[in-house]
């Protein structure tokens, strides 16, 4: 990988990049978050698991201010996201890469145009500089040489990786992934996991990864949180989660043997 993408420093290594405190959010009579709290430290991979509808995506949306809590606070990089103006949110979102559940590429744009989109919007770069940066980003996600392809020509795994390249375009120190490996075959899912690990190892990126895959969860996580019905059921290191006696967590884990990634 090229050395041009610089790690971004934002304080001491164990500084919290995310502090969510007692978040409550309802949509009509649906309670999506019911007093959810979580802290993510810099350079850490935080995995969030939980059944469909338990509030995982709503939580991620709170972290970038797409949804405001009814009660509670969200600090990202020490700044109160729940209280930000639209202008402040725009500035914040430049520093957070979001990989949505659907790869959400623009189908009428080439791979290169998709990846260049945030650069055109937020940076003043020449055509050559943009082309260079796009090449570098595609190399990082192992998609070199695909610049001129249309999204329709790509497999699901390739689309996800282009989505990740686009999310990385502005060097965000924090990346949120909403089920990045759902719908992928195990081998492709593995390559996406590897990328998440490499970004942390090589660039010190902090990550929040929502996943249904136990394999991914235990490969990636420094810390794991298990959610149910808008609440945090249990959180801890993979070892702590494996040792949990919480019946809900056991139901999640009991179906298979899990190996914990060596540190």
Of 113, 20, 211, 147, the residue nearest 224 (C-alpha)? 211
Burial per residue of 12-51, b for 16 or more beta-carbon CB atoms within 10 angstroms, e otherwise? eeeebbbbbbebebeeeeebbbbebbbbbbbbbbbbbbbe
Of 209, 216, 244, 215, the residue nearest 46 (C-alpha)? 209
For 183-198, what is the HEC assignment?
CCCHHHHHHHHHHHHH
When asked if residue 58 is in the footprint of ligand ADP (CB under 6 A), the reply is yes
When asked if residue 29 is in the footprint of ligand ADP (CB under 6 A), the reply is no
What's the gap between Cα 216 and its chain centre?
13
| Residues 193, 122: Cα–Cα separation, whole Å | 28
When asked if residue 162 is in the footprint of ligand ADP (CB under 6 A), the reply is no
When asked if residue 30 is in the footprint of ligand ADP (CB under 6 A), the reply is yes
Tell the smallest beta-carbon distance from residue 52 to Mg ion (Å).
7
Of 54, 141, 175, 253, the residue at the interface with ligand ADP (CB under 6 A) is 54
# binding residues, Mg ion (CB under 5 A): 2
Tell the smallest beta-carbon distance from residue 254 to ligand ADP (Å).
21
Of 46, 57, 110, 207, the residue at the interface with Mg ion (CB under 5 A) is 57
When asked if residue 56 is in the footprint of ligand ADP (CB under 6 A), the reply is yes
Tell the smallest beta-carbon distance from residue 123 to ligand ADP (Å).
31
State the number of CA atoms in the 13 A half-sphere of 2 facing the CB.
14
Tell the smallest beta-carbon distance from residue 227 to ligand ADP (Å).
7
Of 88, 85, 76, 86, the residue nearest 11 (C-alpha)? 76
When asked if residue 75 is in the footprint of ligand ADP (CB under 6 A), the reply is no
Q: In the numeric block, which tokens belong to residue 227? A: 């959610």
When asked if residue 52 is in the footprint of ligand ADP (CB under 6 A), the reply is yes
When asked if residue 206 is in the footprint of Mg ion (CB under 5 A), the reply is no
What residues line the site for Mg ion (CB under 5 A)? 56-57
What residues line the site for ligand ADP (CB under 6 A)? 27, 30, 32, 50, 52-58
């Amino acid at each position: 990988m090229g050395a041009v993408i610089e790690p971004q420093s934002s304080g001491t290594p164990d500084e919290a990049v995310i502090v969510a405190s007692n978040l409550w959010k309802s949509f009509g009579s649906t309670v999506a978050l019911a007093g959810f709290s979580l802290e993510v430290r810099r350079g850490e991979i935080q995995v969030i698991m939980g059944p469909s509808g338990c509030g995982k995506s709503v939580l991620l949306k709170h972290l970038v201010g797409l949804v405001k809590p009814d009660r509670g606070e969200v600090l990202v990089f020490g700044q109160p996201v729940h209280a930000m103006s639209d202008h402040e949110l725009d500035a914040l979102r430049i520093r957070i890469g979001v990989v949505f559940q659907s790869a959400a590429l623009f189908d009428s744009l080439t791979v290169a145009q998709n990846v260049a989109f945030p650069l055109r919007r937020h940076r003043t770069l020449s055509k050559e500089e943009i082309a260079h940066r796009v090449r570098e980003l595609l190399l990082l996600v192992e998609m070199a040489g695909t610049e001129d392809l249309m999204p329709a020509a790509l497999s699901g795994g390739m689309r996800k990786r282009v989505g990740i390249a686009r999310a990385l375009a502005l060097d965000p120190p924090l990346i949120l992934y909403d089920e990045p490996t759902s719908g992928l075959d195990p081998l492709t899912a593995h390559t996406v996991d590897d990328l998440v690990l490499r970004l942390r190892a090589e660039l010190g990126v902090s990550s929040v990864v929502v996943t249904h895959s136990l394999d991914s969860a235990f490969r990636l996580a420094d810390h794991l949180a298990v959610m149910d019905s808008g609440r945090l059921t249990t959180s801890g290191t993979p070892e702590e989660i494996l040792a949990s006696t919480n019946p809900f967590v056991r139901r999640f884990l009991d179906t298979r043997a899990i190996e914990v990634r060596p540190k």
